[in-house]
């Protein structure tokens, strides 16, 4: 008993000394804090009077339980969008400044996590471990700090990597009508980064919670969640959170870029982002413009996408590749938001609902898609096998329409149509089945050299699998050469074609 008392006495003594030490170091610093009050509230936007010196994008505490962000800074009233807890706010509710602009946690601890636009966890796995905090709004890197886009960002999709290549640091728009597979292309690209050292950020803006759940599940099933951060703002969230989400996601991705790492970010989608900003702007009584969007609708997207780039080596050499998604209506590419984003980005991948209904997946319309940068990043082997593929495919589509009129066709035209049908079939690819660059080169080379001519179109998927199974085993050294970016010599190409032809046309028995 005496031992227990002595232990307790020593513990109390240590605690007392710790309190005395802390108290002796305390210095009272008088200060002044200005409080305001809510003058009016409606639809997630509050007008606050009595606050002075408020910074743009500063976080405000409203009523002790709600968080707002200052968007309109005026002498008399501060226009704030409520990010969370807005149900408890009413006229007369007290509001005060926090002294800091909207920021989010960044670091390795966010990999594999699902968070909201302020970095709060949504996956039930406890607090997020953060290495630092960064503002959601950050200036884009200066032009002189950037390097040309030179390294490919492999998507694993034949039709994209061969015909519409994307480079690390590029901004490639994915657009099309609803339910045409836009998200699928973005997710396949994320899945294809497994083992490549690329950090991925998927930002869901205004989507249904069930849709986001499916995305997270698909990433988890394909072992892609471990190097991916998912930033979520669902359609149930306040418009302010939907507006903030892509900027917060970009800050999380920029942290890795500034460490010299390659990063990929997907914005899904910016159409809903524009609508959320339009809602906020109208509630803040800003003058509307075309389609009721505010005058700075172009700027909110350009300042977001300009943060994606490839940095010079003296600034770390990292890259941030952006895949923004935008939804069109009735295939109208000339609508306001799509044209804005087409003019900002470095190319677009257009998904056609007509191709989707025909079962041609991914439903990429090669004629309306373009990459303004990626061709310079494409591996050399692609140039030897895919150089004429785009032209061949475009000619086939025109001839196919012409042939429907029942006109008698000459042998050359008939041959082009038959080859085009096989090109279209080979470019099909199931979801979550990315191919390496070497596998794509092998198949496209066999296609261009006529290996599939004479084969049944319906059986080409099986033929392709058989060829890849053989070539992956027998041509491992050529596959490594392709991935290194080496040129394929004519002898190498003949060897690939001969191996592929032997698989499909070797005599039975």
Q: For the chain, count helices (H), then strands (E).
A: 16, 16
Extract the tokens encoding 253: 């991705």
Helix (H) or strand (E) holding 340: helix 336-344
Neighbours of 471 (CB within 10 A): 24
C-alpha dihedral, 502 to 504 to 507 to 509, nearest 10°: 110
56-59 long-range contacts, CB within 8 A, separation 24+: 56/101, 57/101, 57/102, 57/135, 57/136, 57/137, 58/97, 58/98, 58/99, 58/100, 58/101, 58/102, 59/98, 59/100, 59/101, 59/102
Extract the tokens encoding 339: 């044209």
Neighbours of 387 (CB within 10 A): 12
Contacts of 35 (CB under 8 A, 6+ apart): 50, 51, 94, 95, 96
Q: How far apart are CA 472 and CA 381, in angstroms?
A: 16
Chain length of the chain: 509
Question: Residues with catalytic annotation?
Answer: 372
Q: How far apart are CA 231 and CA 207, in angstroms?
A: 11
CB 107 within 8 A of CB 115: no
CB 194 within 8 A of CB 400: no
């Amino acid at each position: 008993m005496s031992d227990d008392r002595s232990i307790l006495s020593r513990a109390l003594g240590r605690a007392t000394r710790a309190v005395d030490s802390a108290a002796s170091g305390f210095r009272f610093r008088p200060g002044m804090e200005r409080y305001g009050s809510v003058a009016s509230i409606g639809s997630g936007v509050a007008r606050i009077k009595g606050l002075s010196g408020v910074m743009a994008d500063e976080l405000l505490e409203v009523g002790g339980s709600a968080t707002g962000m200052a968007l309109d800074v005026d002498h008399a009233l501060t226009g704030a969008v409520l990010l969370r807890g807005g149900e408890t706010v009413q006229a007369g509710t007290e509001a005060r400044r926090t002294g800091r602009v909207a920021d989010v946690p960044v670091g390795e601890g966010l990999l594999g996590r699902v968070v909201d636009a302020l970095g709060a966890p949504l996956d039930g796995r406890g607090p997020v471990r953060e290495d630092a905090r960064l503002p959601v709004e950050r200036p884009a890197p200066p032009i002189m700090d950037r390097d040309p886009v030179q390294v490919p960002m492999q998507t694993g999709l034949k039709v994209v990597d061969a015909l519409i290549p994307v480079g690390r640091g590029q901004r490639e728009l994915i657009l099309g009508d609803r339910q045409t597979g836009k998200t699928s292309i973005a997710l396949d690209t994320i899945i294809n980064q497994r083992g490549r050292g690329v950090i991925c950020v998927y930002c869901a803006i205004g989507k249904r919670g069930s849709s986001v759940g499916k995305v997270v599940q698909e990433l988890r099933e394909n072992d892609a969640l471990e190097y991916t951060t998912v930033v979520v703002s669902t359609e149930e969230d306040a418009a302010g959170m939907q507006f903030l989400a892509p900027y917060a996601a970009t800050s999380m991705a920029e942290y890795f870029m500034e460490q010299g790492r390659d990063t990929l970010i997907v914005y899904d989608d910016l159409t809903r982002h524009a609508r959320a900003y339009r809602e906020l702007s109208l509630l803040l009584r800003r003058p509307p413009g075309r389609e009721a969007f505010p005058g700075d609708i172009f700027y909110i997207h350009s300042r977001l996408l300009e943060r994606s780039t490839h940095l010079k080596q003296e600034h770390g050499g990292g890259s941030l590749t952006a895949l923004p998604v935008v939804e069109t209506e009735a295939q109208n590419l000339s609508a306001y938001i799509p044209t804005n984003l087409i003019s900002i980005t470095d190319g677009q991948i257009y998904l056609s609902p007509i191709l989707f209904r025909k079962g041609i997946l991914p439903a990429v319309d090669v004629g309306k898609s373009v990459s303004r940068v990626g061709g310079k990043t494409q591996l050399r082997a692609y140039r030897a096998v895919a150089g004429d593929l785009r032209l061949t495919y475009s000619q086939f589509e025109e001839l196919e329409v012409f042939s429907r009129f029942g006109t008698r066709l000459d042998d050359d035209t008939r041959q082009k149509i038959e080859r085009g049908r096989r090109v279209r079939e080979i470019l099909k690819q199931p979801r979550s089945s990315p191919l390496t660059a070497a596998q794509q080169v092998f198949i496209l080379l066999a296609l261009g050299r006529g290996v599939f001519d004479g084969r049944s179109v319906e059986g080409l998927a099986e033929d392709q699998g058989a060829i890849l199974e053989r070539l992956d085993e027998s041509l491992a050294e050529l596959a490594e050469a392709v991935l290194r970016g080496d040129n394929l010599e004519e002898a190498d190409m003949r060897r690939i074609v001969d191996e592929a032809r032997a698989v499909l046309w070797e005599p039975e028995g």
